[in-house]
Amino acid sequence: MQASDYLVKPFRQEDVDSALDWCLEHLPESPRYLTVQSERESVSILIQSLEYIEITGHLANLHAGRQIVTAHRGLGELQNAIGSPDFLRCHRSFLVNMNHIQKIEGNSFRMGGGDLVPISSSDTAQIRERFMDWTFVKAWEGL
């Protein structure tokens, strides 16, 4: 642990406020969960572990590692509940977590678990551009 600031006695209120503000800004984010009703139970999925969501018929299959949770929710509703810019609607039936994309293969994303997720043929250029922009921003943040 490193010191980022220090206070000298006697404390001035504005210095204390400034130090506390800095601490609040630099606190790590609490893990966020998405809770869905699956069959007869509620299931909470760590959002960062969610690789992608696939809609088949009226069911959403949420892929998180080796776990697949099936729920009766629409893709738009799930996307709004997740509320993260890390998720990309790449097809009318798929929402991917860009943190789990390993590479682009033709008109598909190869996910970390090995699955291929299709990219909409009508929006391929826009989806690829959005993914590349996101990748650039993430790389820039890491510097």
Sign of CA dihedral 103, 109, 111, 114: negative
Which residues is 53 bridged to in the sheet?
Answer: 62, 95
If you count them, how many residues does the chain have? 143
Round the CA-based radius of gyration of the chain to a whole number and report it.
20
| pLDDT for res 4 | 64
Q: Which CATH architecture has domain 32-141?
A: Beta Barrel (2.40)
pLDDT along the chain (143 residues), means of 10: 72 86 76 90 95 96 95 95 96 97 96 96 95 94 73
In the chain, how many H helices and how many E strands?
3, 10
**Residue 28: φ, ψ to 5°:** -65, 150
